[in-house]
Amino acid sequence: MSPAPRIVVGVSGGVDSSVAALLLRDAGWDVTGLFMQNWADDGTGECRAEDDRRDAVAVCGALGLPIRFRDFSKEYWDGVFRHFLDEYAAGRTPNPDVLCNREIKFKHFLDAARELGAEAIATGHYARVDAHGDTFRLLRAVDRGKDQSYFLHQLGQAQLAATRFPLGDLHKSEIRRIAAEHGLRTAGKKDSTGICFIGERDFRSFLAQYLPAKEGDMRTPDGTRIGTHPGVFYFTLGQREGLAIGGVRGRPQAPWFVVAKDVARNILYVDQGHDSPWLQSRTLRSEAAHWIAGSPPAARFSCTAQTRYRQPDEPCEVEVRDDGTLAVRFERPQRAVTPGQSVVLYDGDLCLGGAVIATTDAPVPETNPA
């Protein structure tokens, strides 16, 4: 009788990875858990890594699985966090989860699993992989409310060939039910939210440790100064919170939103109205795209896209330019399409790939200070 195939599961101490390990064990795999430390303790006491580590150990113990540990904090700093800081300093809004998946979870983690003799890796991501002929495809999860293919769009053929997503066909409610039925301590554990290395602390306070505050003008799109801000890189397009704008003479009592940033002059532009025309764009240009199949479906094609996580599908036309960048035109105007974030392309449930957003055709506020 041949030995069971070996797989290493990334156990994070959460309910999703716990059930992923359980399902693979029950499917006959030789399962080893691996806990990744991706962020070094910065002395603030905000990091939950130790609590998560204890939960991961307890779950593997309850399932009768061995567990290993790897410290990828240096790789995370070099491959993810430096880019995160550089992007914010440039006035863009990066998505570290996309880079973390590409650089850590499906690169260094995959390498570590192979060193342990594994044939494959698995995680608790909500997504699916299948083989279509000789091509591996990334598909949305059955639970569309939890689908994480947006964050996985930078994966390639070699990574998908070696990856299993055991939760892709299940709903979150089923995951918690399975965990509870097997007495796993993570069954009722709250899902982690936000950026992993920031935790529960205030985002602006965290970022200020690395990008010191520089106060500047807060202006309306026509150049009228209505206040000050602590630093343009603390804000993102469409943001409402943290502006601290009181009553403004001649303006209605309505919420204000960030509509543009002038990093060179340290000016933050704001306007009233969730759907301000200054936030609307119909086209975008991207950096060089990544294609999961290795190449685009055509030089020009129609598909749907998301410019943020959990956004409804938006029909669009895509042109792949000679330098590999994309020109994307949407059927209807889009709100707060943000440079630094990702545009991810879909054909139904099939994730085609995506790219970092470089520019949009949203209107640009005045350039001469009032």
Q: Cite the active site residues.
A: 100, 196
Helix segments in the chain, DSSP class H: 15-26, 49-63, 73-76, 82-89, 96-100, 109-115, 157-161, 172-181, 203-208
d(CA 242, CA 270): 12
DSSP letter string, 288-324: S-EETTSS-S-SEEEEEEESSTTPPPEEEEEEE-TTS
d(CA 309, CA 97): 11
Could you tell me which of 370, 313, 356 has the C-alpha nearest to residue 102?
Answer: 356
122 φ, ψ to 5°?
-145, 150
* Residue 259 CA, distance from chain mean position: 22
Contact 177, 169 (CB under 8 A): no
Could you tell me which of 306, 299, 304 has the C-alpha nearest to residue 321?
Answer: 299
Helix segments in 77-211, DSSP class H: 82-89, 96-100, 109-115, 157-161, 172-181, 203-208
d(CA 210, CA 228): 21
* Residue 31 CA, distance from chain mean position: 27
Cα Rg of the chain, angstroms: 22
Could you tell me which of 278, 268, 208 has the C-alpha nearest to residue 235?
Answer: 268
